[in-house]
Amino acid sequence: MEAKLHRTLGLTDEEADDIRRILGRPPNHLELAMYAVMWSEHCSYKSSRIHLGRLPSGGPRVLVGPGENAGVVDVGDGIGAAIRIESHNHPSAIEPYQGAATGAGGILRDIFTMGARPIALMDALRVGPLDDGRSRWILEGIVSGISGYGNSVGVPTVGGEVVCDRTYTGNPLVNVACLGLLPVERLVLGRASGAGNVAVLLGSATGRDGIGGVSVLASAGFGAGTGDDDDAAKRPSVQVGDPFEEKRLIEACLALLDAGLVVGIQDLGGAGLTCAASETASRGGVGMDVDVTAVPRRETAMEPFEVMTSESQERMLAIVTPEDLDEVLALCARWEVRAAVVGRVTGAGGRLRILDGFDGPVLADVPATSLHEDAPRYDRPLAPAGPPQAPATSPPPPVDPGADLLALLMDPSWVYRQYDSQLFLNTVEGPGGDAALLRLKHPTTGRDTGRGLALTTDGNHRWCAVDSRLGTAMVVAEAVLNLACVGARPLALVDCLNFGNPEHPQVLRQLSDCIDGMAEACLALDLPVVGGNVSLYNESRGTDIDPTPVVTVLGMVDRLQRRPPGVVLVAGAVVMVLGPRSSDLGGARWAADAAGDGRAPGPLPELDLGRHQQECALVRALVNDGLLAGVHDIADGGLAVAIGELVARSGVGAHLDGIGGHGELFSEAASRVVACVAEEHVAEVLDRAAAAGVPAAVVGHTGGDRLVIEGLVDLDVAEVTAAWRDQLPLALGR
Amino acid sequence: MGVVVFPGSNCEGDAMEAVEVLGGEPSVLWHAEATTRSVDAVIVPGGFAHGDYLRPGAIARFSPVMAAVAEFAAEGGPVLGICNGFQVLTEAGLLPGALQKNRGLQFLCTTVALRVESRRSVLTSALEPGTVLHIPINHFEGNYTASPETLAELRSEERVILRYVDNPNGSLDDVAGICSEGRNVVGLMPHPERACHRLLGSTDGIALLRSFLDAGNQPSDLVIPARLSTSAGTPS
C-alpha cells in the first residue's frame, strides 16, 4: 500500500527509503505527502543543482544572491533592486488563463517577501505556430491571464517577448520576471527566529486547488499533446488566482514591514504551507509547530495533507512576536486581509511538527531541514560533449528576399496593448523596444534619483539547439546589447532555464553546456547571476523542447536626461551598421524557415566577448550623448528584420546599398546594431567607433516611401508596415 | 487636494505625484472614513476599486467616503474621476451614463489623441476648444454609453468636454470625458497624470490638472451657485 502511495505522489523507491532512514521509522501519509512536494524537481532542483554552482553569482553590488526568494542588487541612494524570474509552463499548457495569471501572482509574492514593492513585470511567452488552433487558444489565454491579473494587481508589465515555434506546440513556455524596489535597511529574509514567536498566515483561505502542482504537474512531462485525458485530469493541480486579494496582501505586508512588525516573512508558493513553514524554520535554525486546524479553509472536510500541500494563491506566512500580534492583526484588518495564528516557533531540535490543535495529537514530526537539505541531488548521466548535429550547409538563396523579409516581421503590440505598462509614472521606454527603461525613484520617499533602470528579456532556442554553450552566451550578449540600445550598463542577470526531460542524457548535456556558456559570458561581461529558476520536463509525446534558457538582465542608466532614441528612423539621415559585417547564417531564423524542417544550420557565428564589450560601450555612449536618432540591435531575423522594424515603426523609408547578398541580410551574428544618424553627427560617430575599435559602416540613407536594399529588396513602406502590424492579429483571426 | 483610496485603487500614488509636481498638496481620503476633511478638491483615481468585482465602481459607490464626496460635490467642490474613478462617479450617480466593456473586448493601454470640446469645466478651463492632447488610456471598460435623452442633454449643455479623435473603445459620440450640470464634477477615461513629465513622452496632461488645481484654489464662476451660498463646510 505504502509503496504504491509514494509512487503516486511522485517519489521513487530510493527516495522513500531515504525518508524512512531520516525518520527512523516509516513515514505516515501526511509526512510522505510533505516530502513528495518538497523533494519534487520543482522545489529541490535535484537534477540541476550540481550544475548551477558554476554560475558566477557574487560581486560588490550583490546584496542577496541565489537561493533566497529573489536576488537583490544595490542601485545606489540606499535603494535595493529585487529581481527574479520564474516559469509557469505546465499550468499554462493545461489552463492558460489561470496558469499565466498565477505565474504573475507567484513572482510578485517572491518580490514583496523581500520587503520590496514590485514595480515592473516582464513576460517571455513561447507557444506553437499560430496556424494551430490550440496554440492560438493558449496564447490568447496566457495574454488575457497576465492582463487580467497584472493590471488589476497594479504592477505594470513593461516588456517581454512573444515567440511562435513548433518546438513549443505541446509545451508552451510562460516565463515571468519581476523587479521590485526596497530601501536597503528594510531588506528581509524569509527566516523564523525566537522560540515563542508566532507564525501568522495572511491572505486567502486554503482550498484544494493546486495540490500536487509542484510534483504531479511541474515535475513531469506531458503525454499526447492535445486533448489527452491524463493531462486534462491534471487541471485541478492548476491554482486559481485572485488579483484583488493579492493587491491587498501586498499593501498589508509592506505596511507591516514599514511598521517593523515582522521578524521574518515568506510567501506560500509551490508546496504551500509545508514549504513556507519548513523554509522559515530551517533558515532560522529553529523548529515550528503548525496547528493544521487553525488554517482558514474555503472547503469543508479537507484532510491535513491537503491543507499542508495546497497551493492556494495569495497567502503569506509572517513570523511576529507575541507582543506585536494585536497590532499585526489590526493592520491586516485595515487592508481587509485575513490573518490567523497557525504556528509557533520552537527552539530545540529544529523539528517541524503538524498538530491537530496546538495541544492535540501530533500528525507529523520531521526535521525541518530534511525537507530541503536532505533532498536528493542527482548527478544524472550526460550525453558525450560535442556540438549536436545540425546540417552544416545553408539552404539555397531565396527567390524573393523581400517576401522572406516580410514573413519574418511581427508587431507584438496586440499582446502588450493589453497590459498596463505605465503605472507608477516610471516607464520612459515601454514594451516593443530593445529594452524597457524606467525612472528610478526612491521606493518610500518617491524622490527621483535622476537615474534609470533598464530591463530586457531574451532567449533564442534556435541558437541553443545548434550549440547550447555558445547559443546561451549569445543570448546573454544580446541582452547586454539590448540594454546598451537604451543607454544602460548591465548590473545583474536572472535566468529561467527551460529544458526537456533531465532523465534524457542529451537534455542534461544541453543544460550543462548552457550553464557553461552563461557562466563564460557573465564572467566576461562582469554580470553576476543573482537568481534563477529551472524548469525541466518540458516535453510532450516523448519529444523534448529545444533548449531555451531565457535571461532577464537589469541595467542602469547613470544620468537619465533624455528619452533614448528608440527603434525608429527619421527622414534625411544616414543608416549605419555598428559592429562587424557578417554573412554567416549559422543559427539564423531565415535559414531555419527556408530549410523546411525548422532546424537552423550550424555552426553558430563566432562570438568575441571582448569585442562585444567594446560594441556595447560604444552604443551606450552614443545613445547617452544623443548622437543617434534611432537604433536597433541585429538579432533574430538579422539585418532584414532590424531595418524592417525600424521602417515599420516609423513609417520612414530607407535605401541601403552594398549589402552583400542574402547571407548578410539574414545573418544573426552577434555584436551589431543598425543606427540612424543625422548627417551632422556621422563624422563624430565614425570617429568614436574607430577610437573604440568597433567597425562602422555607412550603409544607406533614410527617407521616401520605399525600403530598398540594392539587389535584394524593393518594398513599399506601407507594405512593410502592414505586414509587420497585421501578422499577429491576422494569425489570431482578430 | 484629497485623493480617494479604496482597496484595489492603484493610481493614487501617481495622482499624488502629479499634483505635487504642479504645486498642490495631496493627501489620502481613506474609503472607510465618511469625510473629505478640509480638502479643496477631490480626485477619485484609477485602479480596480474592490477588484472591480460585480462591475467597476459598483461596490466602491457604497464606501462611506463616497457619501462625503457626494456632499462635497453638491456644495460645488471640484471632483475629478480618472478611469476607474470615472466609473465610480457614474455608479455613484455623480455623473450620468455608464462605462461598458471596450468594443473588441480587450484591455487597451495606449496613447490616444483627445480633442478639447469645451472649456466650461473645472478640468478644461485653461484650454482652447479644438486643442488636441496626447494622453494615455488604460482600461477594459471605457466604452461610454448613455440614453439618447442623456446624450442630447450632454450635447446641448456643452458637457462633453473631451472627445477621442480616433475612437479606440466604441464610446458613444466619441466621448472621452464629461462634466456635471454644475461643471464641477468631471470624469474621463484617459490618464492625465501619466502625461505630466517629458521623460514619459507627453506633458499634455499638465494643462488639464493645472485647471483642476486652480479650480480648487480659486472658486470661479464655473461652479454652481450652491457652493458660493454655503457657509459651513465651504472648502478653503
- Considering only CA atoms, which of B165, B187, B162 is closest in space to residue B176? B162
What's residue A283's pLDDT? 87
- Scanning every residue of chain A, which has its alpha carbon at the shortest distance from the alpha carbon of B20? A446
DSSP assignment of B101-165? PPTTS--EEEEEEEEE--S-STTTTTS-TT-EEEEEEEESS-EEE--HHHHHHHHHTT-EEEEES
Nearest to A336 among B7, B47, B108 (CB): B7
A151 neighbourhood in chain B, CB within 8 Å: 48, 107, 138, 140
* Residue B235 DSSP symbol: -
Q: Indicate whether A133 pLDDT > 80.
A: yes
Nearest by CB to residue B17, choosing from A242, A248, A446, is A446
Parallel/antiparallel/unpaired status of strands A696-702 and A630-633: unpaired
- Selecting from A248, A417, A439 the residue whose C-beta is nearest the C-beta of B109 gives A417
Q: Which of A147, A335, A424 sits opposite B7 (nearest CB)?
A: A335
* Residues of A within an 8 Å Cβ radius of B: 147-148, 151-152, 154, 242-244, 247-248, 251, 335-336, 416-425, 427-428, 439, 446, 560, 562-563
Please state the φ and ψ torsions of residue A332, each to the nearest 5 degrees. Answer: -65, -40
Tell if the CB–CB gap between A154 and B47 is shorter than 8 Å: yes
Nearest CA in chain A to B135: A422
The whole-number pLDDT of residue A233 equals: 64
What are the boundaries of each domain within chain B? 2-228
pLDDT of residue B224: 47
In total, chain A counts a number of residues equal to 734
Give the pLDDT confidence score for residue A42 in this predicted structure. 85
Classified as helix, coil or strand, A512 is helix
Q: A417 contacts in B (CB within 8 Å)? A: 106-110
Amino acid identity for residue A155 in this structure: V
Report CB contact under 8 Å: B109, A152: no
Active-site hit among B11, B83, B179, B196: B83
| CATH class name, domain B2-228 | alpha beta
* Chain B partners within 8 Å of A560 (Cβ): 199
Chain B residues closer than 8 Å to A439 by CB: 199
| B141 in contact with chain A, both atoms CB, cutoff 8 A | no
The verdict on pTM exceeding 0.90 is: yes
* Facing residue for B199 by CB, picked from A336, A419, A563: A563
Q: Would you say residue A224 has pLDDT above 80?
A: no
Is B236 at the interface with chain A, CB within 8 A? no
- Per-residue pLDDT tens digits for A87-119: 999 999 999 999 999 999 999 999 999 999 999
Q: Is A88 a catalytic residue?
A: yes
State the nearest Cα–Cα gap between B207 and chain A, in angstroms.
Answer: 17
Kindly determine whether residue B107 and residue A421, on different chains, have CB atoms separated by under 8 Å: no
pLDDT category at A187 given cuts 50, 70, 90 is confident
CB contact under 8 A, A428 and B200: yes
- For residues A718-728, give the mean pLDDT: 98
pLDDT of residue A229: 54
C-alpha–C-alpha distance, residues A236 and A212, integer Å: 9
The shortest C-alpha distance from A242 to chain B (Å) reads: 9
Contact list, A563 vs chain B (CB under 8 Å): 198-199, 201
Is residue A335 within 8 Å of residue A255, measured between CB atoms? Answer: yes
CB of B87 within 8 Å of a chain A CB? The answer is: no
The model's pLDDT over B186-234, given as tens digits with 9 standing for 90+, comes to: 999 999 999 999 999 999 999 999 999 999 887 655 544 444 333 333 3
* B12, B91, B117, B193: the active-site residue: B193
Measure the CA–CA gap between A654 and A402, rounded to whole angstroms. Answer: 14
Mean pLDDT, to the nearest integer, of A425-448? Answer: 96
B40: helix, strand or coil: coil
Q: Would you place residue B235 in the very low, low, confident or very high pLDDT band (cuts 50, 70, 90)?
A: very low
Those residues whose C-beta lies under 8 Å from the C-beta of residue A612, and which sit 6 or more positions away, are A477, A480, A481, A524, A525, A670, A671
Confidence at residue A392, expressed as pLDDT on a 0 to 100 scale: 67
- Taken as a whole, chain B contains a residue count of 236
- Mean pLDDT of the A698-726 span: 98
Q: Which of A251, A336, A424 sits opposite B14 (nearest CB)?
A: A424
Check CB contact of B138 with chain A, cutoff 8 Å: yes
Quote the minimal CA–CA distance from B34 to chain A in Å: 15
Q: Which residue of A has its CA nearest to B192?
A: A425
CA distance B159 to chain A (A): 29
Residue from the list A243, A248, A421 with its beta carbon closest to the beta carbon of B109: A421
Q: What are the chain B neighbours of A420 within 8 Å (beta carbons)? A: 107, 109, 138
Given a cut of 50, whether residue A486 has pLDDT beyond it is yes
The one-letter amino acid at A125: L
Percentage of chain A lying above the pLDDT 90 cut: 85
Q: Which of A244, A422, A446 sits opposite B48 (nearest CB)?
A: A244
Q: Do B8 and A248 make contact, defined as CB atoms within 8 angstroms?
A: yes
- Does residue B161 carry a pLDDT above 60? yes
The one catalytic residue among A88, A612, A662, A681 = A88
Residue-wise pLDDT for B85-100, tens only, equals: 999 999 999 999 999 9
Q: What pLDDT does B17 receive?
A: 97
Mean pLDDT of A186-215: 85
Predicted confidence (pLDDT) at residue A294 exceeds the cutoff of 60: yes
Does the pLDDT value for residue A404 go beyond 70? yes
Q: Do A151 and B107 touch (CB under 8 A)?
A: yes
Tell me the CA end-to-end span of chain B in Å, nearest whole number.
Answer: 11
3-class secondary structure for A604-623?
CCCCCHHHHHHHHHHHHHHH
Per-residue pLDDT tens for A581-593? 999 999 999 999 9
- B136 vs A248, A422, A560: nearest CB: A422
- The answer, yes or no, to whether residue A41 has pLDDT greater than 90, is no
Max Cα distance, chain B (Å)? 49
Q: State the Rg of chain A over Cα.
A: 26
- pLDDT for B21-57, tens place per residue? 999 999 999 999 999 999 999 999 999 999 999 999 9
Amino acid identity of A607? Answer: L
Quick check: is B157 catalytic? Answer: no
Q: What pLDDT is stored for residue A222 in this prediction?
A: 74
In chain B, residues with a C-beta closer than 8 Å to the C-beta of A244 are 7-8, 48, 50-53
Chain B partners of A336 at a C-beta cutoff of 8 Å?
A: 7
Instruction: Verify whether the Cβ–Cβ distance B18 to A425 is below 8 Å.
Output: yes
SS3 for A711? coil
Minimum mean pLDDT among A64-78, A333-347, B206-220: which range? Answer: B206-220
Confidence of residue A347 (pLDDT cuts 50, 70, 90): confident
Phi-psi category of A629—alpha, beta or left, where left has phi over 0 and alpha has psi -120 to 50? alpha
CB atoms within 10 A of CB A680: 9
Which residue matches cell numbers 509614472?
A: A425
Per-residue pLDDT band at A1 (split at 50, 70, 90): very low
Contact A418 B14 (CB under 8 A): no
For residue A251, list chain B residues with Cβ-Cβ distance below 8 A: 7
Q: Does B15 touch chain A (CB under 8 A)?
A: no
Mean per-residue pLDDT, A164-184: 97
At B228 the pLDDT is: 38
Distances (CA, A) of A316 to A113, A323, B51: 8, 20, 20
Q: Which of A336, A425, A427 to mutate to test the interface with B (most CBs of B within 10 A)?
A: A425
Q: Which three cell numbers stand for residue A5?
A: 502511495
B91 and chain A in contact, CB less than 8 A? no
CB contact under 8 A, B194 and A425: yes
What are the b/e assignments for A345-375, b being 16+ CB within 10 Å?
Answer: bbeeebbbbbbeeeeeeebbbbbbbbbbebb
Q: What does the pLDDT read at residue A2?
A: 47
Question: What is the residue type of A414?
Answer: W
To test the contact with chain A by mutation, choose from B3, B5, B10, B108 the residue with the greatest count of A C-beta atoms within 10 A, namely B10
Percent of chain A with pLDDT over 70: 96
Mean of the per-residue pLDDT values of chain A: 93
Give the pLDDT band of residue A451 (cuts 50, 70, 90): very high
Cβ-based contacts of B137 with chain A (< 8 Å): none
Average pLDDT over residues A602-620: 97
**Cβ–Cβ below 8 Å for B7 and A244:** yes
A133-153 vs A243-258: helix axis angle to the nearest 10? 40
The pLDDT of A402-418, averaged and rounded, is 97
